[in-house]
Amino acid sequence: MIDQDVLESVLGTALQSGGDFAEVFAEDRRSSSARLDDGKVEELVSGRDRGAGIRVVRGDTTGFAHTADLSEAGLRAAAGAAAAAARGGGGGTRTVGLTREAVHPHVIEVMPDTVPKARKVELLERADGAARAVSDSIRQVGVAYADSRRRILVANSDGLLAEDDQVRTRFMVQCVATGDTGMQTGMEGPGRTLGFEIFDELDPEETARISARRAVAMLDARPAPSGKLPVVLKRGAGGVLFHEACGHGLEADLVGKDASVFGGMVGQQVASPLVTLIDDGTFAKEWGTYAIDDEGAPAQRNVLIENGILTDYMWDLVRARKEGRASTGNGRRETYQVLPMVRMTNTYLPAGLDDPDDIIRDTARGIYCVQLGGGQVDTATGDFVFGMTEAYLIENGEITVPLRAANLIGNGPEALRRIDAVGNDFATWSGTCGKDGQGVPVSSGQPTLRVSEMTVGGTAA
């Protein structure tokens, strides 16, 4: 995107007022999407956005400027603005020599932008038909396809020059079923860091049937119980809970602000010995996978909790430098127009040893949660509230009736300590993580597991 000699010149400009560190982050993003509602194609959209953000750090002060002009003049102007914002004295000239780092992004077999729009629309229509065939009670079907290609370049005054090419594809189906008890919805939306070859392993019709069956099953739902009960989280279902209730509290920026319940607890027991929690930007081809983060650090597998012991936090480059340690590859930003911050990638609990069916059989009465919706968490205390969008009652060791939407209420560290069974299966969930107004693609996952006690906010007497 930018010649190496231009980058070196721009970094020199950024440092001429005496900065300690300077960085150029350039991005070229292309995206396309298609949406079908009630059998009609409502949207076919494509777009492109490119530009660069320049950061200058001096002491505890950071100057930042961004520009859509990738010419040398445009970049030098932005570098001067960032340097002025960070200026705190000093001066002089500093020359930066860049060394290109070898990175190895995933090989994309079929670039989505080479696939005709008609073929993408065909996928939407196939999913629409499959969802409606599940039941006459399916009254509305929405299907969406989206792909993106994000090329990034990072150069900094440490001499780093690295690039990545991130291609992601996603397919989502939402269904509305109507019956005597009113309307219920179901949603399924898998995504991977893959090109159009994702559909070699992803069946659009089956994705639609899963969504439709969820909506239909909830038509027979009865009010959920209230009170403290064991909760069994189906594989994949609880990943978002641990992402929100625990993962954010392990981000070094929140720890540094005393806004994390896990602050100062490295080396301490914070979870059941059955629990290991990992954040891995290299994991398979999941939604949060990449070769380098948005500061140029290689993605890596970070063990955050091992056998219940807190082992480390997630770090970005600037905070890691202050601590005299290396970044963990968790510096991420939504676009070139904003500064990076510590973010998760693919956060998961690996599989354990228990048979998932045995976990159900060993639960006399409780909740079987298949899918979670939105929620809220206070990272300073770990307290959370999450909505269950698909759940069932467990009675005498068997999954019985579906339950209407209810909340799971608890505390992250307490939930981790109360995990008493971990299945030998595994699945992931793909989504967008929001933090301080920025959204980035992430995944979370876990095997079927049981939390021995959580508060269920149901409405049954």
Instruction: Say yes or no: 256 and 128 in one domain.
Output: no
- Cα–Cα distance for residue pair 3/7, rounded to 1 Å: 6
The answer to whether residue 157 sits within a structural domain is no
- Cα–Cα distance for residue pair 321/363, rounded to 1 Å: 48
- Cα–Cα distance for residue pair 433/443, rounded to 1 Å: 9
pLDDT band at 405 (very low <50, low <70, confident <90, very high): confident
- Cα–Cα distance for residue pair 293/403, rounded to 1 Å: 41
Instruction: Say yes or no: 168 and 247 in one domain.
Output: no
- Cα–Cα distance for residue pair 331/401, rounded to 1 Å: 44
- Is the per-residue pLDDT at 378 higher than 80? yes
The answer to whether residue 401 sits within a structural domain is yes
Last residue of a domain, one of 186, 219, 252: 219
The answer to whether residue 26 sits within a structural domain is no
Domain count, the chain: 2
pLDDT band at 86 (very low <50, low <70, confident <90, very high): confident
The whole-chain average pLDDT of the chain stands at: 93
Whether residue 387 contacts residue 407, with contact meaning beta carbons closer than 8 Å, is answered with yes
pLDDT band at 194 (very low <50, low <70, confident <90, very high): very high
Q: What is the pTM of this model?
A: 0.94
* Percent above pLDDT 90 for the chain: 87
Whether residue 159 contacts residue 203, with contact meaning beta carbons closer than 8 Å, is answered with no
pLDDT of residue 461: 57
Instruction: Say yes or no: 268 and 179 in one domain.
Output: no
Place of tokens 């354990």: 352
Q: Identify which of 231, 260, 275 has the alpha carbon closest to the alpha carbon of residue 388.
A: 231
Q: Identify which of 432, 33, 429, 404 has the alpha carbon closest to the alpha carbon of residue 185.
A: 404
Last residue of a domain, one of 219, 237, 254: 219
Pure H helices in 30-105: 72-86
- Is the per-residue pLDDT at 327 higher than 70? yes
- Is the per-residue pLDDT at 404 higher than 60? yes
- Cα–Cα distance for residue pair 167/413, rounded to 1 Å: 35
Last residue of a domain, one of 171, 196, 219: 219
Instruction: Say yes or no: 206 and 345 in one domain.
Output: no
63 CB contacts (<8 Å, ≥6 apart)?
Answer: 19, 55, 56, 57, 81, 82, 83, 84, 85, 86, 87
CATH of the domain at 169: 3.30.2290.10
- Cα–Cα distance for residue pair 303/449, rounded to 1 Å: 19
Q: Is residue 105 exposed (0-12), middle (13-18) or buried (19+ Cβ within 10 Å)?
A: middle
Instruction: Say yes or no: 446 and 341 in one domain.
Output: yes
Provide the residue range defining the domain that includes 116. 112-151+163-219
pLDDT band at 98 (very low <50, low <70, confident <90, very high): low
Instruction: Say yes or no: 333 and 401 in one domain.
Output: yes
The helix, strand and coil proportions of the chain, stated in percent and rounded to the nearest 5, come to 25, 45, 35
Side-chain-side CA neighbours of residue 424 (13 Å): 5
- Is the per-residue pLDDT at 105 higher than 90? no
| Mean local confidence (pLDDT), 83-110 | 66
**Is the torsion defined by CA of 243, 247, 251, 257 positive or negative?**
positive
Strands 398-403 and 383-395: antiparallel
The answer to whether residue 310 sits within a structural domain is yes
The answer to whether residue 29 sits within a structural domain is no
Whether residue 247 contacts residue 215, with contact meaning beta carbons closer than 8 Å, is answered with no
Instruction: Say yes or no: 207 and 338 in one domain.
Output: no
The H or E element that residue 430 is part of is: strand 427-435
Distance of CA 227 to CAs 69, 259, 381, 453, 459, Å? 58, 29, 21, 10, 10
31 or 91, greater pLDDT: 31
Instruction: List, as one string, the DSSP characters of 10-38.
Output: HHHHHHTT--SEEEEEEEEEEEEEEEEET
The answer to whether residue 443 sits within a structural domain is yes
Is 180 in a helix, a strand, or coil? Answer: coil
The answer to whether residue 76 sits within a structural domain is no
pLDDT of residue 102: 64
Instruction: Say yes or no: 322 and 366 in one domain.
Output: yes
Measured in degrees and rounded to the nearest 5, phi and psi for residue 372 equal -105, 150
pLDDT of residue 89: 42
Is 217 in a helix, a strand, or coil? Answer: helix
Q: What is the pLDDT of residues 434-452, one digit of tens each?
A: 999 999 999 999 999 999 9
The answer to whether residue 60 sits within a structural domain is no
Question: Token digits for 128?
Answer: 């629409």
Instruction: Say yes or no: 392 and 408 in one domain.
Output: yes
- Is the per-residue pLDDT at 95 higher than 70? no
Place of tokens 């939390």: 451
Instruction: Say yes or no: 282 and 136 in one domain.
Output: no
Instruction: Say yes or no: 322 and 441 in one domain.
Output: yes
Q: Identify which of 409, 403, 420 has the alpha carbon closest to the alpha carbon of residue 359.
A: 420
Instruction: Say yes or no: 277 and 201 in one domain.
Output: no
